[in-house]
Chain A
Amino acid sequence: MATKHKKITGKAFVLGKNIDTDQIIPAEHLVYSLDDPEERKFYGRYALSGVPDAESGLPEGNIPLVEEDEFESDFNIIIGGPNFGCGSSREHAPASLDIAGVDAIIAPTFARIFYRNSVDGGFVVPYESLENLSKEIHTGDEIEINPEERVVKNITQDKTYEIRPLGSVADIVNAGGIFEFARKEGMISCQ
């Protein structure tokens, strides 16, 4: 929970463009409680289960983010195409990726509600890349995100790409979400 704005390393999971919230977590699974620790796990199991098989885990495809009967993934960095997270406002989408063990998403552009939910809920860090890295990086590549230097390194392929600074949301990301941020700023009293 609450991955901070700091160096992240891990394995890439690559997706195409316009990955919408129904593909991230299909609507039929939204009935599980996010507050109940047992039910909550199902969001991890079904994260990205709505992505058509051929487009899941590019360039090869047919790779699920989470193996059947598992609740967490070995992949912790998602590389997406443009307009990542379009569709509904369901916060279950970034939450399900977080529950599946994803720390960060790199995409050239994000849909705004998904971006906001990722940040305000402290689920995953959304980094905007200058290029569409879903055409460059392969599922399984070892990746390092270095926000200070504003770069992503593909260790497997020995290549480096630029990412944009987080700007005004960096404070919320660093605080771990909007509530932690508001407490730090004295907007709401401690609970």
Chain B
Amino acid sequence: MGMTLTEKILAKNSGSSSVEPGESVWVDVDVLMTHDVCGPPSIGIFKNEFGEDARVWDKEKLVIIPDHYIFTEDKYANRNVDILRGFAADQDLPYFYDVGSDDYKGVCHIALPEEGFTRPGEVLFGTDSHTCTAGAFGQFATGIGNTDAAFIMGTGQLWVKVPETMRFEFEGTSMPPYIMAKDLILQIIGDIGVDGATYRTMEFGGTGISAMTMEDRMTLTNMVIEAGGKNGVVEPDAKTEAYVRERTDKEFDLVYSDPDAKYHSKYHYNLEDMVPMVAKPHSPDNKATAIELEGTDLDRAYIGSCTGGKLSDFEAAAEIIDGHDLKLDTYIVPATTEIAKGLETRTLNGKPLIQIFRDAGCNIGQASCAACLGGPSDTFGRLNNQEVCISTTNRNYPGRMGSKESQVYLASPYTVAASAVTGKITDPRVFIQQTVI
């Protein structure tokens, strides 16, 4: 019997020739990532369990990326970054991206690929649920808690229950001009529900996926956790290899699913049929088409996060925003410092993207998670009252972006930008067709 990509990686890293769904195996960890929210408690547990002077199992494999509560006056939040700093110095860690230094990156899930840690065929764990993003590179990547992270810091291993795999096939050769990967994943989550993939792998394939850029694929795998998925994965191809080789000298294995691999279920979509989607408050599976919601009043637009704060997300938003006055308070938060630089250098209609956003009156924040998860009350873009926000982020449970009185609609950067221009939820085709014709 053949194996899926996920099964093959778990077999390889547990030293077996094959594994089966449902089996629990101990795997060797290739990369462990942590950040400023979960790093300090993980370090606390590591020291308690292995001793004050214990050394991490392999300092080349531990990556620490502060990103969540960065630009705040909150003394506890700043103390947490100090704990990371102290630990990185004590352990002499080569991969610590310190706040305030030239190395500072921003959102971990985008920083990991930029820095070459998302290598096909490897096992990556991170103390953050969106660690599944790295599956876009054909890696097994999933989120864990602090205790598990501390366990890995000491042993380099962790137990995993081998998940069943669900396969999502997209047919088509290119995305319609008004559709983004965010629309596809909102459609899927709406179809299968927020627990539709619990304990399972979501594997994406088909001609439609091959046609996508790495950034598009990352948007898909990023949100598998919103369907309860353990990991999301895209088989590697020439694009994957080119992206990763440009960023690391490390060798890696390209692993593929066998043609006779066994799947839990299979779903088929056609790119041509997809329409701009929105998730209504207060759940990512509360789906509607943008058209159905047209005219819904909004107070704010937010473009940022590991889901919707990549350079291609800002290019898409700028396409629509250029030359318009905005009716909503609009927040722009690049995920990483590299993307922030891209906003200065990448141009559209002869203007840097950042200038398009400035001219339209957007509020521009510094690279970090910012209001994606609310955070301390002085966080940039946080919803502190009863605001209704349309956002390119990934979760809209009550209080996710701040106050539990607020409401969040999730959508693609096109839809968020179109809504920022009109002040109400708007299908982006209104603007895209104008620019195309």
A residues in contact (CB < 8 Å) with B = 18, 20, 22-23, 26-28, 30-35, 39, 50-52, 82-83, 86-92, 94, 109-113, 116-117, 120-122, 168, 177-179, 182, 187-188, 191
Contact = CB atoms under 8 A, between A and B. Distances in A.
B399 A23 contact: yes
Contacts, number: 143
B40 A89 contact: no
A113 B129 contact: yes
Contacts of B198: 83, 109-112
Given A30-B37, A31-B76, A86-B195, A22 B147 contact: no
Nearest to B23: A168
A91 B41 contact: yes
Nearest to B196: A83
Interface stretch (B138-146, B179-187, B288-296, B350-358): B138-146
A22 B404 CA distance: 10
A28 B147 contact: no
Given A50-B404, A113-B144, A178-B159, 15 more contacts: A18-B397, A22-B395, A26-B399, A27-B374, A28-B377, A31-B77, A34-B146, A83-B198, A88-B143, A92-B41, A109-B195, A117-B144, A120-B148, A178-B147, A182-B151
A31 B74 contact: yes
A87 B395 contact: yes
24 contacts: A18-B283, A22-B397, A27-B400, A30-B37, A31-B77, A31-B80, A33-B44, A35-B44, A50-B398, A51-B398, A88-B128, A89-B129, A89-B144, A90-B145, A91-B41, A91-B147, A112-B228, A113-B143, A168-B24, A177-B147, A178-B147, A178-B151, A178-B159, A188-B154
B145 A113 contact: yes
Contact of A18 (B49, B128, B194, B225): B194
B146 A91 contact: yes
B67 to A, nearest CB: 13
Contacts of B129: 87-89, 113
Contacts of A168: 24, 161
B376 A28 contact: yes
A80 to B, nearest CB: 12
B207 interface: no
> Which of B69, B155, B376, B399 has the most chain A CB atoms inside 10 A of its CB?
B399
Contacts of A32: 76
Contacts of B374: 22, 26-28
Contacts of B144: 89, 113, 116-117
Contact of A88 (B283, B373, B404): B373
A17 to B, nearest CB: 9
B127 A22 contact: no
Given A23-B398, A88-B129, A187-B155, A33 B76 contact: yes
Contact of B147 (A31, A52, A121, A191): A121
Contacts of B195: 18, 82-83, 86, 109, 111
Nearest 7 Cβ contacts at the A-B interface:
A91-B145, A31-B76, A117-B145, A89-B143, A83-B195, A121-B147, A35-B44
* Residue of A20, A177, A188 contacting most chain B CB atoms (<10 Å): A20
Contacts of A182: 151, 155
Contact of B373 (A27, A110, A178, A188): A27
Interface in B65-98: 69, 74, 76-77, 79-80
A44 to B, nearest CB: 15
Given A33-B40, A120-B147, A179-B49, A22 B199 contact: no
Contacts of A28: 374-377
Given A34-B44, A35-B41, A116 B50 contact: no
Given A28-B376, A34-B44, A86 B76 contact: no
A184 to B, nearest CB: 14
Contacts of B49: 179, 191
Interface string B291-316: 00000000000000000000000000
Contacts of B228: 83, 86, 111-112
A86 B189 CA distance: 14
Nearest to A188: B155
B288 to A, nearest CB: 18
Given A22-B400, A111-B228, A89 B145 contact: yes
Contacts of B51: 191
Interface in B185-213: 194-195, 198-199
B230 A89 contact: no
Nearest to A178: B151
B317 interface: no
Counting chain A CB atoms within 10 Å of each CB, which of B40, B154, B230, B404 scores highest?
B404
B151 A120 contact: yes
Nearest to A114: B145
B332 interface: no
Contacts of B375: 27-28
B38 interface: yes
Instruction: Find the residue from B48, B80, B151, B377 having the highest chain A CB count within 10 A.
Output: B151
Nearest to B373: A27
Nearest to A119: B147
A33 B38 CA distance: 10
B199 A116 contact: no
Interface in B343-386: 373-377
